[in-house]
Amino acid sequence: MKVLVTGAAGFVGHHVARRLAETKQCDVLGVDNLSPYYDVALKRARLEQLAPLEKFRFLQADFADAEKFPALVAHFKPEYVVHLGAQPGVRHSMENPAAYTRANLDGFATVLEACRQTRPKHLVFASSSSVYGAGAKPPFREDDNTDQPLSYYAATKKANELMAHSYALNHGLNATGLRFFTVYGPWGRPDMAPTIFARAICEGTPLKLFNGGKNLRDFTYIDDIVDGVVKVLLYPPPPNPAEIGSTPWPPRIFNLGHHRPVETLLFVRMLEQLLERPAKTELLPPQPGDMFETCADLTRIQAAIGFAPKVPLEEGLRRFVAWFREYYRL
């Protein structure tokens, strides 16, 4: 089968494309515009890992290009689409909202329109635990109110869920949104906590911990995320019995996390042990846009596809540190 993966040079996209291509049952086309939001060399290094795979091809392209991207999709004719491309970063969205409008709003609209025209069996797209926002009480459940996002990034991800809902109802598009919870692991983004913390510890520079390091995060290892994405992808929503032959169900929304929140300061202590170096911590007040705690309720996705995270934080961090030391030579 033919699968299109956007954001294939990104952290999650790289791993998903690899898993699909390695099955040798999928022809995978990865697209990415190689945005300079963070070091493009890391993105190219990820692509180098994918290049030897017989079932993987890469095309540098911008999914937000409303003229060219739909034509690309129409030419490839994917049976499945995994949309992982986006402008990430909670704090950066406060400084450069235009980038989020283009990639996460205009870009997702272009992806939806391309899927409307080409009719894949299933579109799976990345949402975020950030959508839960103010007033959310852990563990977060998919039917919780998500009308109070704390950042513009979160607002764009909430908008993506609503946009997909509209396309499902109006155009019969099969879609599923996945709310990722703090993904970490080898080939992770340099702007995320594991790499920022590990680099600061290795270089002996002050490590800034907002909210005094008391924030709790549901760290989820990349292999568990990939398991969830691939299983969900291959099981589209069933037909709506009330609308046989026409409109499917509205898009499913699933949490994809680990359900084991860990305090940021404890996370740093675990990294200290693995790196065998002390951290110089600087405890700061809460950061605007940050949530105090994230924790995924996994009841819905467990019932749908039998998803259960397998990699404990201790093992996942060990694998991350081994990659970090090799890649950054620290």
For residue 140, the 8-state DSSP code is B
Neighbours of 108 (CB within 10 A): 26
240: pLDDT strictly greater than 70: no
Neighbours of 314 (CB within 10 A): 10
**Which neighbouring-strand residues pair with 128?**
180
* Residue 92 falls in which region: left (phi positive, over 0), alpha (psi -120 to 50) or beta: alpha
DSSP of 8-27, one letter per residue? TTSHHHHHHHHHHHHTSS-E
* pLDDT tens sequence across 220-233: 999 999 999 999 99
Q: Which CATH superfamily is domain 2-184+221-259+295-310 in?
A: NAD(P)-binding Rossmann-like Domain (3.40.50.720)
- Please give the share of the chain, as a percent, with pLDDT higher than 90: 90
Instruction: List, by residue number, the catalytic residues.
Output: 153
Predicted TM-score of the model (pTM): 0.95
How many residues does this entry show for the chain?
330
- Residues 296-305: what's their mean pLDDT? 96
Closest to 299 measured CA to CA, from 141, 144, 161: 141
Query: pLDDT tier at 242 (50, 70, 90 boundaries)?
Result: low
* pLDDT tens sequence across 192-207: 999 999 999 999 999 9
Give the number of C-alpha atoms closer than 13 A to the C-alpha of residue 213, restricted to the C-beta side.
15
Tell me the residue type at 173.
L
Which pairing describes strands 220-221 and 280-284: parallel, antiparallel, or unpaired?
Answer: unpaired
- Residues 273-293: what's their mean pLDDT? 91
Whether 214 and 263 have beta carbons less than 8 Å apart is answered as: yes
Closest to 304 measured CA to CA, from 223, 238, 221, 243: 238
Mean pLDDT, the chain, integer: 94
Which pLDDT belongs to residue 316? 98
